[in-house]
Amino acid sequence: MPNGSRDTQNKASAKPLLYLVVGIAAITGLVGLGVEGYYFFNPDAAAQREYAAIERDLAQKRLSEAKDRQALAVSMCQTAIKAAAKVPRSVDFQSFGFDISAGASGRISVSQDFDAINALGMKTTNEGRCIFAADGQMVEFWWNGDRKI
């Protein structure tokens, strides 16, 4: 019978040790103490990583959309220039003769240098400038410094 009581004593003394080990593991996990920067359990760190990934994706999307809007603005401005020319087929856009600027309000300004035949049949160098609102609507059109729209 003494063996039975010793087993009971060993089991009873093992329970506090087990509770201590489980408690330390739980506290360590909740606090976020880890090895070499890796967390055992930290929901905030996982959420922060996910949020950072979403922010990066949105920034890339905004940049892509801004570039698309600018390319569309250049195309629309060139179309407007050709439409306003006396001889639309004669319009020759200079490769490096354009400037695009985007304002904080979403407005885009496009300036384009080009050669075209004028009303007298002479080829001249000109400048067209288009200003687009944030919604993509052309709000101003300039031809050699004269406002047309």
Query: What pLDDT shows up at residue 26?
Result: 58
Please name which of 115, 135, 131, 133 lies closest in space to residue 123, comparing C-alpha atoms: 115
Query: Within the chain, which residues score under 50 in pLDDT?
Result: 1, 30-31, 33-36, 39
Sheet containing strand 123-132, edge to edge, reads 92-102, 108-117, 123-132, 138-143, 146-147
* Residue 12 pLDDT: 54
Identify the helix (H) or strand (E) that includes residue 112: strand 108-117
Per-residue pLDDT tens for 42-72? 567 677 788 778 888 888 888 788 889 999 9
CA atoms in the 13 A half-sphere facing the CB of 3: 0
* The model's pTM: 0.63
Note the Cα 35 to chain centre separation in Å: 34
Q: What is the pLDDT of residue 149?
A: 87
